[in-house]
Amino acid sequence: MASQQHIEKMQLRQNFRNFWHTDLFTTIQADTPYCCFALWCAPCVSYLLRKRALYDDMSRYTCCAGYMPCSGRCGESRYPELCLATEVVCCFGNSVASTRFLLQDEFNIQTTQCDNCIIGFMFCLQQLACIFSIIALIVGNSELREASQVLSCLADFVYCTVCACMQTQHKIEMDKRDGKFGPQPVMVAPSVQQMSRFDQAVPPFVGYASHA
């Protein structure tokens, strides 16, 4: 039942109307220092972003933002900071994904097809590296073992890079939420339009007053 709800949520996110403020390709240009910070101190960034996504209210914290089977069963209500620290260290990938889902559900953000391709490529490369490592272990060929190690290094590099860009994307989105890019545009009701009457020779003037 829970898995069916998660599938329905994933399908619902595909129809959200809003998009991320920056895509994964442009996050490095948008905030290079933070992207480097997210690359070298990934768990720390994940901790800070989740706390910020919760508006610094740790009483709202749930393990993996409520998207995993372990959510609500790890003593979060008593030790939220400790549980979050454990999550970002032991389940780093899930912590990044959970923060992403949290922001998407709050602001109705869908992921572009380009970003989906990047994330999908990252997962496929990891699975391919795992398969090659198993084959190399079974066969025992030294050349195949070296090739699997190179592929594993490439998969790890792509994983770390994509996660850094993804966390920078989350940070920029929360900067937008918190008004760091300036005030959000205010929706203004359209002005009342006047309708001309049949007994008027000329309809009333609507618009800016003419200069004398």
Tell me what the mean pLDDT of segment 147-175 comes to. 95
Q: What is the H or E stretch that residue 7 is in?
A: helix 2-13
Supply the pTM of this predicted model.
0.78
Tell me what the mean pLDDT of segment 148-162 comes to. 94
Model confidence at 5, pLDDT cuts 50, 70, 90, reads low
Average pLDDT across the chain, whole number = 83
Which residue would you say has higher pLDDT here, 171 or 76?
A: 171
Tell me what the mean pLDDT of segment 72-92 comes to. 89
Please list the residues that pair with 19 across neighbouring strands.
110
Tell me what the mean pLDDT of segment 183-203 comes to. 51
CA–CA dist 21, 184 (Å, integer): 13
Q: What distances in angstroms separate CA 17 from CA 3, 108, 153, 212, one per listed residue?
A: 24, 6, 37, 46
- pLDDT at position 142 is 83
Domain residue extents for the chain: 8-177
CA–CA dist 130, 112 (Å, integer): 27
Which residue would you say has higher pLDDT here, 133 or 169?
A: 169
